[in-house]
Amino acid sequence: MTAITDFTVKTADGTAASLEPYRGKVLLIVNTASKCGFTPQYEGLEALHRDYADRGFEVLAFPCNQFGAQEPGDAAEIANFCTLTYDVTFPVFAKIDVNGTGADPLFERLKSDAPGVLGSKAIKWNFTKFLVGRDGAVVDRYAPTTKPEDIRKDIEKLL
């Protein structure tokens, strides 16, 4: 089975990028949105990123507009919002779909490896989080209601 770091995704400017540079790191992969009730979680995600980046941890954000059309902006608007509102320094990739026939292959894999409640593979809302170990395997899935700081202990175990 391939590691999460074997996938290719699109950067905010639409170019293809391998996740290979993240091999050997602990990752928190999140579907995000700028106009969601959970959007303030950007602050907690940035705190985790700043606290653990030097120990081999990365937050990877993937904007998604599938839930209540809460990410309507283009890449430039999303980047501006993340930088100006939450001083985000972790990578924010291209807007994607996480469910349905157009779902990004990375998220198909994440959902398959870490199903939700009662085995559901569908992502229910923005800010669903997937924790990936240094070996590229999915360790856990967290609901949108799980605050980033509540994942801290799980991240520390993997670092």
Enumerate the active-site residues.
36
Structure-token pair, residue 148: 């980033």
Residue count of the chain: 159
Burial label for 20, CB within 10 Å (0-12, 13-18, 19+), is: exposed
The closest alpha carbon to 29, from 102, 159, 123, 119, belongs to: 123
One-character DSSP codes across 110-141: HHHHS--GGG--S--STT-EEEE-TTS-EEEE
